[in-house]
């Protein structure tokens, strides 16, 4: 396996998705088991897009932990920095899908093995060789994991790498927003690019949105903001550039993995040195494919699928612009 170009750091849990669509968790009878957690979904997405990817996380020394390690390895994700905890269990999330709105999610196993990640679990030489580090913000929710995140961001930046911070704001993991925001701000001072949906942006930018939020984050040292706006597309802000990319219109089954797919597509494109405008369009294409499928990690597309999707979209656009043939 090639040395990872990208590492993701954050939640690695088991997702149990209801198979009956539009039915809440009180009535769901059948579930499908997937690799879950924002950082894990992004890692799988990157691997399927052909990017050498590793993951940094903890799982329990239990059947679910063993399942996750095997599944990630099968996807081609380097798991040499995924360690097992003999005391805390692997986390679980149950989800009921109610398209097209956000779905019902209940987390079990808190604290779980993810919260015990520490700096001693990291291979610093391997991390220093990576070009990108993608951190999920929910990894800041425990003191031990938070220290590991901040150390990883700091040392990766010192080694010349690019730090990408996916806000992944989950209030259920925190006792109060004020203490959460304080820890988030420490991470932002070590961040090159922030990925955030609109509610997350309101949280980290203290009520601001859009350009005002971006300018607020610049003050913390952030180099760029990617503001995800659901079916309204995405906006990109940096001190010298502003871009917008529309979302692709597709039938929506599950929005839960959209942001993780977007992150995978964006980093995959940037790893090929694509211009930001192209990277945003590619990321939007990945997200569009993901929301049309069941699950999150299992919904991540291959390179070939993204290429076909974009080609089909270009064909449709040409037909619309040209009108009907005589």
pLDDT tens digits, residue range 290-301? 999 988 999 999
pLDDT of residue 275: 97
| 137 within some domain | yes
Q: Burial level of 174, CB count in 10 A (0-12/13-18/19+)?
A: middle
Q: What is the mean pLDDT of the chain?
A: 94
Reply yes or no on whether the pLDDT at 1 is more than 80. no
| 275 within some domain | yes
Q: Are β-strands 104-108 and 31-36 bridged in parallel, bridged antiparallel, or unpaired? A: unpaired
pLDDT of residue 316: 67
| 192 within some domain | yes
Q: Which domain holds residue 289?
A: 6-318
User: For residue 228, what is the domain's CATH number?
Assistant: 3.40.1190.20
Least confidently predicted of 70-84, 228-242, 312-326: 312-326
| 326 within some domain | no
Confidence band, pLDDT 50/70/90 cuts, at residue 324: very low
| 196-221 average pLDDT score | 94
The proportion of the chain whose per-residue pLDDT surpasses 70, expressed as a percent, equals 96
Beta strands in 51-115 (DSSP E): 53-60, 78-85, 92-96, 104-108
| 13-32 average pLDDT score | 94
| 283 within some domain | yes
| 109 within some domain | yes
Which residue from 267, 211, 202 is spatially nearest to 237, judged by alpha carbons?
A: 211
Which residue from 54, 39, 57, 43 is spatially nearest to 112, judged by alpha carbons?
A: 57
- Please give the C-alpha separations between residue 243 and each of 71, 110, 265, 277, 284, in angstroms, as whole numbers: 37, 39, 17, 7, 13
| 68-76 average pLDDT score | 98
Confidence band, pLDDT 50/70/90 cuts, at residue 66: very high
| 69 within some domain | yes
How many CB atoms are closer than 10 A to CB 50? 14
Confidence band, pLDDT 50/70/90 cuts, at residue 74: very high
Reply yes or no on whether the pLDDT at 325 is more than 50. no
Confidence band, pLDDT 50/70/90 cuts, at residue 73: very high
The structural domain count of the chain equals 1
How many CB atoms are closer than 10 A to CB 2? 9
pLDDT of residue 320: 54
Reply yes or no on whether the pLDDT at 305 is more than 50. yes
Torsion of CA 283, 288, 290, 291, to 10 degrees: 140
pLDDT tens digits, residue range 86-141? 999 999 999 998 887 768 999 998 899 999 999 999 999 999 999 999 999 999 99
Reply yes or no on whether the pLDDT at 323 is more than 60. no
| 57-77 average pLDDT score | 98
| 16-37 average pLDDT score | 95
> Phi/psi at 102 (nearest 5 deg)?
-60, 150
Reply yes or no on whether the pLDDT at 326 is more than 80. no
| 323 within some domain | no
């Amino acid at each position: 396996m090639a040395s990872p170009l990208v590492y993701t750091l954050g939640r690695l849990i088991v997702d149990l998705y209801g198979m009956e669509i539009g039915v809440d968790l009180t009535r769901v009878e059948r579930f499908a088991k997937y690799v879950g957690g924002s950082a894990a979904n992004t890692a799988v997405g990157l691997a399927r897009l052909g990017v050498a990817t590793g993951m940094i996380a903890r799982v329990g020394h239990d059947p679910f932990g063993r399942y996750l390690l095997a599944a990630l390895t099968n996807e081609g994700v380097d798991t040499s920095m995924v360690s097992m905890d003999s005391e805390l269990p692997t986390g679980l999330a149950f989800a009921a899908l109610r398209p097209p709105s956000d779905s019902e999610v209940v987390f079990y196993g808190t604290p779980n093995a993810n919260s015990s990640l520490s700096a001693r679990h990291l291979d610093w030489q391997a991390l220093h060789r990576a070009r990108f580090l993608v951190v999920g913000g929910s990894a800041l929710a425990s003191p031990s994991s938070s220290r590991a995140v901040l150390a990883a961001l700091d040392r990766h930046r010192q080694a010349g790498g690019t730090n990408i911070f996916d806000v992944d704001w989950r209030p259920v993991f925190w006792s109060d927003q004020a203490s959460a925001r304080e820890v988030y701000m420490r991470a932002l001072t070590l961040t090159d690019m922030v990925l955030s949906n609109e509610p997350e942006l309101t949280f980290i930018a203290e009520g601001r949105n859009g350009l005002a939020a971006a300018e607020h984050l610049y003050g913390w040292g952030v180099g760029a903001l990617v503001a995800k706006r659901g079916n309204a597309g995405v906006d990109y802000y940096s001190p010298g550039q502003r871009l917008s990319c529309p979302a692709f219109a597709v039938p929506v089954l599950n929005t839960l993995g959209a942001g993780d797919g977007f992150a995978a597509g964006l980093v995959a494109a940037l790893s090929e040195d694509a211009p930001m405008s192209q990277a945003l369009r590619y990321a939007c294409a990945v997200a569009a494919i993901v929301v049309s499928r069941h699950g999150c990690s299992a919904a991540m597309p291959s390179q070939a699928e993204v290429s076909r999707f974009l080609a089909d979209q270009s064909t449709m656009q040409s037909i619309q612009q040209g009108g009907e043939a005589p």
